[in-house]
Amino acid sequence: MTNAAPVDAMEPASEQALIASILAGERDKFHILIRPYERQIYRTALALVKNEAEAEDVVQDAVLKAYRKLAGFRGDAKFSTWLMAITLNEARGRLRKESRAAFDSLDERSEESGDYTPAALTDWREVPLAALERQEVCALIQQAVSELPETFREIVTLRDVEELSVNDTATLLGISVSLVKVRLHRARMMLQRKLVPQLRLAAKPEPKRRIFGRLSWL
């Protein structure tokens, strides 16, 4: 079996009503509440912990925590933002435990300062979305994101992978809107410099197989 198709987020009012009924005892409805956000929280967890199995553990723990703490959810924030905040905390907690973050923070210092020279390839031609059908192209992008220092991975995942607004991202990370913009710019420039030369090579269409190759003697 594969994963179910993504489920669209509900209207905030129906979501509030759903939360109320779960708290009133219809516990099974919690499944419906979190379905629209599974993909989003998984990708956020993965961006931080960089390992699929561990990201899955983070998601499970975050979802269970959200269920247990549901009564503490205040309707003044969006449920999705609240769930993402729990996920980020879980993921960061694991990073701290493994003290992987110590290495990352060194990278960040050097990345926050330095000037950027983007990859300047004047013969750049847009790589079509169809290139994403090829696993190696997706793998290059995943790899480039995973190699960013932690703060930049977070920002680019929230803004460009999950497409959260600048304001939601700032709230979630507890930083100012202007810092979101500065970090996002740095993260995108790092990705540009790394990915452009790679994508240009990888995205070239494979040469068409010669259908009549075996008949070339004709």
How far apart (Å, rounded) are the C-alpha atoms in residues 62 and 87?
5
Of the ranges 52-60, 78-86, 94-102, 103-111, which one interacts with another protein (CB under 8 A)? 52-60
Site for another protein (CB under 8 A): which residue of 99, 113, 122, 216?
122
Looking at the Cβ atoms of 43 and 92, the one nearer to another protein is 43
- H helices of 2-134, in order, are 12-23, 30-34, 38-49, 52-68, 79-97, 101-112
**143 vs 39: CA distance, rounded Å:** 19
Site string (67-106) toward another protein, x via CB under 8 A: xxxxxx----------------------------------
Q: What share of the chain is helix, strand, coil (3-state, %, to 5)?
A: 70, 0, 30
Residues 146-175 that bind another protein (CB under 8 A): 156, 160-161, 163, 166
Do 93 and 62 contact (CB within 8 A), yes or no?
no
**Distance, CA of 209 to CA of 140 (rounded, Å):** 25
Question: Which CB sits closer to another protein, 75 or 106?
Answer: 75
CA 25 to chain centre: 33
User: Whole-number minimum distance, CB 23 to another protein, in Å?
Assistant: 6
| Angstrom distance (rounded) from CA 123 to CA 204 | 13
Q: Is residue 129 near another protein by the rule CB under 8 A? A: yes
SS3 of 125, please? coil
Which stretches of the chain bind another protein, using CB under 8 A? Answer: 1-4, 6, 22-23, 25, 27-28, 30-31, 34-35, 38-39, 42-43, 46, 52, 56, 59-60, 63-64, 67-72, 115-124, 126-127, 129, 132-133, 138, 141-142, 145, 156, 160-161, 163, 166, 181, 184-185, 188-189, 191-192, 195-196, 199
